[in-house]
Structure 1
Amino acid sequence: MDIIALLTIFVPFLGAIITVLVPRQAAKWVCQLFAALASLGTLILAAAFFNSGETSVTYQLVMFSQTEVFGLTIDKVSTLIAVAVVVLGLLVSIYSLGYMTEGNREHPHEGLPRYYAFLLIFIGAMAGLVLSSTILGQLLFFEITGACSWSLIGYYQKPTSLKAALKALLVTHVASIGLFVAAAFVFKETGTFSLSALASLSVETKTIVFLGIMMAAWGKSAQLPLHVWLPDAMNAPTPVSAYLHAASMVKVGVYIFARAIMSGGDIPEVIGVIGVTGAMITLIYGFIMYLPQTDMKRLLAYSTITQLAYIFLALSLSVFGSDLAFEGGVTYIFNHAFAKSLFFLVAGALSYTCGTRMLPALRGIVKKSPLLAVGFCVAALAITGVPPFNGFFSKFPLFAAGFNLSSEHSWLMPVMILALVESVASFGWILYWFGKTVVGEPSEAVATAKPLPRSMSAVLIILIIMSFCSSFIASNWLS
């Protein structure tokens, strides 16, 4: 399994090198090939793990004296999330075949080799981070994703894009200081960088280490006060927004926090209190901020900040001893990646066909493009937690765990009630925009819409299906 995992990580990096060496018209096809190979690698890895009896295993690959510098962890969580981030990378690359062309009404532009090269590097870095067994390995791939995000967010080379890219790079790089501090304290006390060493730390050191990890996690996952980069990052091409800001980059933070909780043994409750408090402040802020948005991508950006706050809430609740909350948080990472990617790619499809993603200019989508109407509806219901869509099976265990814990920690009761109110209110607001944009007579922009390329339509159909099915995949896999 270690060979399969290493190939899954390094194949996209090899593909990126080849992408910039081949003729420009061949670059996009090289990207498809190597993204497909990486996706196949994650599926084979998951199958091998299942056939081995689902026994978690860690491989120590790079040692310096007696210190583990880099290794791989193969378990239920890492294989599940690796499949999500890599396969979604493949879907985004396929979608880009149609989107990054001269036929795009909003951004008529043929994708350059560097677009596909950095997309492949990002896929490889995400696989490496998810499978890494050491803090140092996480830190390496953490920084690689930051560099890739800088390039992809600033891809169009406009002043606003370049400014947004620099902001994303600086904020997430500053946040990475927390991971540096965590790695230093772990090494000082245990002589290793292995995540498994977290359980043996003293209470004081463990608190410092978890605070450092949380700082890094807040930066990548756009939680207050380190959220400022995400809304501006919507200047990136929409496939990039879907991948970085729904499926991969923003999931780095919640994943490293989840992995630390898995490895940390008994975690000081102060970490749970800080996590819950930060999540609730971010959740309320994100909801308030997406109310006035009329740009569909900026609305989805603030919605993403809110949804990530739910994941932090679930993971923080697990610190108080709730396995249900932890499993709900991991399932949320998996499910949200598919549902929010669908929503972003629907926004991209509207930009492609109608020439705009401004919600007031869109009306009567269902009459002109039933597929986009269905995609909009499914994505909206999924991220707001309406059954039988995958978001419901993420939120239900979160609320069940939270209300159950409130019998021992009474202060959690108002927290959970407030979160429930936000969930209902967000459903109402998304439903409002659904009624304004999907039904009715087509507006001028919608009436003149052009057909979607088959590559974009195929990806939307797959994500619609996954918005129904992903929760069953996750629950069966984790159980």
Structure 2
Amino acid sequence: MMEKIALTTLLLPFIGALLTACLPQCRARIVCTLFALLATLGTVALGWQFLTGGKVAETWTLVSYHGMALFGFTIDRISTLIVFAVVFLGLLVSLYSTGYLTTGNREHPHDGGNRYYAFLLIFIGAMAGLVLSSTLLGQLLFFEITGGCSWALIGYYQTPKSQRSAMKALLITHVASLGLYLAAATLFLNTGTFELSALSQLSGSASYIVYGGILFAAWGKSAQLPLQAWLPDAMEAPTPVSAYLHAASMVKVGVYIFARAIIEGGNVPHVIGWVGIVMATITLIYGFMMYLPQKDMKRLLAWSTITQLAYIFLALSLAVLGSKEAFDGGIAYIFNHAFAKSLFFLVAGAFSYSCGTRLLPKLRGVIGKSPLLGIGFCVAALAIAGVPPFNGFFSKFPIFAAGFSLSTHDWALIPVMVLVLIESVASFGWLIYWFGRVVPGEPSPEVAQMSPLPLAMRVVLVVLVVMSLCSSVIAALWLN
């Protein structure tokens, strides 16, 4: 039964994308939202079957050649949690887009076309396929599909700048995919299969090549140094796309494939963990320094996303050194950050829609004109900064606990964890600074003249505010 539900969940968005591309433009948004809803219900049914079955991990092969598995599904506590997040957020972004992509948008007055909604559904389907895939070949296939969808959606407005940004994202992430090609080829040559479970059979130089290739591919998709340059420029995309591709899904591809490799391999070389720790720390500090001067809310959030992903890489790298607490914290971080950062991006989109600008110095006194946006800004900032009781705290705390615990055996981790702690406090201070500038006070001219938000956008913001409070509970109950 789970196999059929998983296959249906995977296929629904692709079927919906085909229908969306063929139907009249006025129907595209309805069909997109409907199929995203059906796919979300599929992930819920999948999770329910997994739960009632005693949370026993299972793997099925769907496509094979001469007994060699090419593609299949892995259903376990991690894949069921993350697939729900990426598909459910796809539904929320679809619904939000029905209000955002209209002529009432003061910054980008435009009715969303079939192309937008079709590629959004393809992206949802590709994310579901990648998360559920039981083979490295399957991951590689959907890895490349997400790259093509990101190119199409980042360049959606067809301006010269957006098209350059789209090509930049495509090229950098495609260069990163070479690491996954190398990993897949090496895995096959050494084990005779592409199944992720075969990672546990690797040893010696093959192990370094495979895990190194996966880590390199992960850096590209998750915008880590030295492959981070595409993400800030990708903010040329429509804001719902920014929220989905660059907070909830595409950037999570990298950390997810690294996490999946760790859990399937079981014996990852410690040097891979140390490389991950060093690069995550450098990326985290660099990203923080880069988002300090930003005035465009989306670009600030882009650099903030890079630093938040560095936290996840740090957690997973600590897991390589033997910390289960860090691994569970990293998985929870993937889940929780997706909701909190999507909320922040969609608040930025609401400013664009209603005020005609997302430049922070022009936004002041939001709480008086739109309590929902003021609350959304506050909740998102506190969640990203890791302030209890919001979900970010329950993601960050296990990482710090695991890092300082491991440092009792390895003193080199002490300066790393101190630097990360300083960044976390400084990030909180910077976000609170902008909260004080944007939310309270007398409304600025742009805010004073803001137009009301459509119902669809308001519903999505409310749902994300709630999820920023309770997603950590969902993750903790599911992972334990």
TM-score range, shorter chain: over 0.9
For residue 202 of structure 1, report the CA deviation from its aligned partner. Answer: 1.2
Residues 1:109 and 2:110 are matched in the alignment: yes
Q: Please give the alpha-carbon distance, in whole angstroms, between the structure 1 residues aligned to 2:428 and 2:110.
A: 35
Structure-2 residue corresponding to 1:173? 174
Q: For 2:71, what is the secondary structure of its paired residue?
A: strand
For residue 409 of structure 1, report the CA deviation from its aligned partner. Answer: 1.0
Q: Please give the alpha-carbon distance, in whole angstroms, between the structure 2 residues aligned to 1:349 and 1:265.
A: 44
Give per-residue Cα distances to partners, 1:348-394, cap 9 Å, x unaligned: 00000000000000000000000000000000000110000000000
Structure-2 residue corresponding to 1:89? 90
Structure-2 residue corresponding to 1:315? 316
Q: Please give the alpha-carbon distance, in whole angstroms, between the structure 2 residues aligned to 1:383 and 1:108.
A: 30
5+ residue gaps, structure 1, are none
Q: Please give the alpha-carbon distance, in whole angstroms, between the structure 2 residues aligned to 1:266 and 1:194.
A: 16
Structure-2 residue corresponding to 1:247? 248
Q: Please give the alpha-carbon distance, in whole angstroms, between the structure 2 residues aligned to 1:203 and 1:356.
A: 54
For residue 20 of structure 1, report the CA deviation from its aligned partner. Answer: 1.0
Q: Please give the alpha-carbon distance, in whole angstroms, between the structure 2 residues aligned to 1:73 and 1:409.
A: 35
Q: How many residues align?
A: 479
Residues 1:62 and 2:63 are matched in the alignment: yes
For residue 266 of structure 1, report the CA deviation from its aligned partner. Answer: 1.2
For residue 243 of structure 1, report the CA deviation from its aligned partner. Answer: 0.2
Residues 1:47 and 2:48 are matched in the alignment: yes
For residue 66 of structure 1, report the CA deviation from its aligned partner. Answer: 2.5
Give per-residue Cα distances to partners, 1:317-349, cap 9 Å, x unaligned: 001110000000000000000000000000000
Paired amino acid for 1:172: T
Q: Please give the alpha-carbon distance, in whole angstroms, between the structure 2 residues aligned to 1:209 and 1:92.
A: 35
Structure-2 residue corresponding to 1:398? 399
Q: Please give the alpha-carbon distance, in whole angstroms, between the structure 1 residues aligned to 2:288 and 2:356.
A: 27
Structure-2 residue corresponding to 1:272? 273
Q: Please give the alpha-carbon distance, in whole angstroms, between the structure 2 residues aligned to 1:403 and 1:115.
A: 46
Structure-1 residue corresponding to 2:455? 454
Q: Please give the alpha-carbon distance, in whole angstroms, between the structure 2 residues aligned to 1:247 and 1:32.
A: 17
Match runs of 1:461-472 below 5 Å: 461-472=462-473
Paired amino acid for 1:310: Y
Paired amino acid for 2:358: R
Match runs of 1:367-406 below 5 Å: 367-406=368-407
Paired amino acid for 2:472: S
Q: RMSD between aligned alpha carbons?
A: 0.4
Paired amino acid for 2:479: L
For residue 203 of structure 1, report the CA deviation from its aligned partner. Answer: 2.7
For residue 300 of structure 1, report the CA deviation from its aligned partner. Answer: 0.1
Q: Which runs of 4+ in 1 moved over 3 A?
A: none
Structure-2 residue corresponding to 1:302? 303
Q: Please give the alpha-carbon distance, in whole angstroms, between the structure 1 residues aligned to 2:9 and 2:329.
A: 27
For residue 252 of structure 1, report the CA deviation from its aligned partner. Answer: 0.1
Q: Please give the alpha-carbon distance, in whole angstroms, between the structure 1 residues aligned to 2:278 and 2:65.
A: 39
**Contact 1:35-1:120 at 8 Å conserved across structures:** yes
Paired amino acid for 1:109: H
Q: Please give the alpha-carbon distance, in whole angstroms, between the structure 1 residues aligned to 2:283 and 2:54.
A: 40
Q: Please give the alpha-carbon distance, in whole angstroms, between the structure 2 residues aligned to 1:223 and 1:341.
A: 19
**Contact 1:203-1:268 at 8 Å conserved across structures:** no
TM-score, normalised to structure 1, is 1.00
Give per-residue Cα distances to partners, 1:85-137, cap 9 Å, x unaligned: 00000000000011000000000000000000000000000000000000000
TM-score, normalised to structure 2, is 0.99
Q: Please give the alpha-carbon distance, in whole angstroms, between the structure 2 residues aligned to 1:207 and 1:109.
A: 49
Residues 1:203 and 2:212 are matched in the alignment: no
Structure-1 residue corresponding to 2:258? 257
Q: Please give the alpha-carbon distance, in whole angstroms, between the structure 1 residues aligned to 2:224 and 2:25.
A: 38
Structure-2 residue corresponding to 1:218? 219
For residue 150 of structure 1, report the CA deviation from its aligned partner. Answer: 0.2
Paired amino acid for 1:343: F
Q: Please give the alpha-carbon distance, in whole angstroms, between the structure 2 residues aligned to 1:266 and 1:408.
A: 19
Q: For 1:452, what is the secondary structure of its paired residue?
A: coil
Q: Please give the alpha-carbon distance, in whole angstroms, between the structure 1 residues aligned to 2:63 and 2:238.
A: 37
Q: For 2:414, what is the secondary structure of its paired residue?
A: helix
Q: For 2:60, what is the secondary structure of its paired residue?
A: strand
Q: For 1:347, what is the secondary structure of its paired residue?
A: helix
5+ residue gaps, structure 2, are none
Q: Please give the alpha-carbon distance, in whole angstroms, between the structure 2 residues aligned to 1:166 and 1:59.
A: 36
Paired amino acid for 1:408: H
Q: For 1:391, what is the secondary structure of its paired residue?
A: helix
Structure-2 residue corresponding to 1:426? 427
Paired amino acid for 1:108: P
Sequence identity (%): 68
